[in-house]
Amino acid sequence: MRCGNAVFTWGERTYVMGIVNVAPDSFSGDGLSDADAAVAQGKRLVAEGADIVDVGGESTRPNYTPVSVEEELRRVLPVVERLARDLPVPVSIDTYKSVVAREAVAVGARMVNDVWGLKRDPALAKVAAENGVPLVVTQNQRDGRFRDFVPDLVADLRRSVQVALYAGVERGNIIVDPGVGFGKTVDQNLEIVRRLAELKTLGFPILLGTSRKSFIGLVLALPAEQRLEGTAASVAIGIANGADMVRVHDVAQMVRVVRMSDAIVRGRRF
């Protein structure tokens, strides 16, 4: 998969997506409201080993407060533009709104990460298709319930993929994300990591985002800022079960976890 100037060769190694939250109410406690601080954080994540930086302007925590398109644009565009200009790795825009995605791509974003899997704004797929940028579709269950958990999750991702393909997104530009934390119970989130390999039947690379999430906190009885080891465990097991990219807050530490996991799972030595 080509993403800006980068090429992701799936199966050879696990890629690391670093998180830049330009949302002051981020669940993880790392939300920033200042563009200069967000740009500095993005540069630091790349220095620590991130292969791509994901910029988001609206919190995705449970019971989050939605922001307007105008406010989201105000938060993310200056950050995306400066990072796209200054970083040696691509920048992703974390949004489910087609207007925000279009504007972000126009100033340099080279991937679109939709946490609603095209359910909220299917036109976002057209933005990705018209610009030839990769698209992440995430399984989000906050508006519904599962009957047969993993089969339902896979089927829902398949529907999102079909929406993307119908809009003209190339198969080679689609990534699937099982949506850890998005409308799932603690046990279901654990089951996603344990059964991640079953998503391989879809035929697309898998992005796994477990970093600092509440299921880790509930298992370990720890606040977000103390979930490093729990995140590391979920990342390592996720890689063993087929994750191709991991989305994380603590890049320096998770790069080490990824490299060790790849050495064991893929026989890859850096």
For range 245-269, the mean pLDDT: 96
Render pLDDT for 135-190 as a digit per residue (tens, 0 to 9). Answer: 999 999 987 789 999 999 999 999 999 999 999 999 999 999 999 999 999 999 99
pLDDT tens for each residue of 115-143: 999 999 999 999 999 999 999 999 999 87
Summarised one tens digit per residue, pLDDT across range 187-201 is: 999 999 999 999 999
Is residue 213 part of the annotated active site? The answer reads: yes
Give domain status of residue 7, yes or no: no
At residue 213 the predicted structure's pLDDT band, cuts being 50, 70 and 90, is very high
β-strands 245-248, 91-94 pairing? unpaired
> Catalytic pick from 13, 82, 126, 247?
247
| 4 part of a folded domain | no
Catalytic residue among 119, 212, 213, 227: 213
- Residue by residue, DSSP assigns the chain as -EETTEE--BTTB-EEEEEEE--TT-TTS-----HHHHHHHHHHHHHTT-SEEEEESS--STT-----HHHHHHHHHHHHHHHHHH-SS-EEEE-S-HHHHHHHHHTT--EEEETTTTSS-THHHHHHHHHT--EEEE---TTS--SSHHHHHHHHHHHHHHHHHHHT--GGGEEEE--TTSS--HHHHHHHHHTGGGGGGG-S-BEE--TT-HHHHHHHT--GGG-HHHHHHHHHHHHHTT-SEEEES-HHHHHHHHHHHHHHHT----
> How far is Cα 149 from Cα 147, in angstroms, rounded to an integer?
6
Whether 1 maps to a domain, the answer reads no
What's residue 136's pLDDT? Answer: 98
Is 270 part of any domain?
Answer: no
* pLDDT tens string 56-97: 999 876 666 789 999 999 999 999 999 999 999 999 999 999
8 Å CB contact between 185 and 149: no
Q: What is the pLDDT of residue 34?
A: 87
pLDDT tens column, 7-39: 999 999 999 999 999 987 555 445 577 899 999
Is 149 part of a structural domain of the chain? yes
Q: Which of 60-74, 107-121, 204-218 has the lowest mean pLDDT?
A: 60-74
Q: What is the reported pLDDT for 30?
A: 58
Give the integer Cα–Cα distance in Å for 157 and 115: 12
In a domain, 6, yes or no: no
CATH number at 119 reads 3.20.20.20
Residue 120 annotated in active site: no
User: Residue 85 is part of which domain span?
Assistant: 15-265
Average pLDDT over residues 42-66: 90
- Residues 209 and 247 sit within 8 Å (Cβ to Cβ): yes
3 lies in a domain? no
Instruction: For residue 10, tell me if it sits in a domain.
Output: no
In this structure, what are the phi and psi dihedrals at residue 241, rounded to the nearest 5 degrees? Answer: -100, 10
**Total domains, the chain:** 1
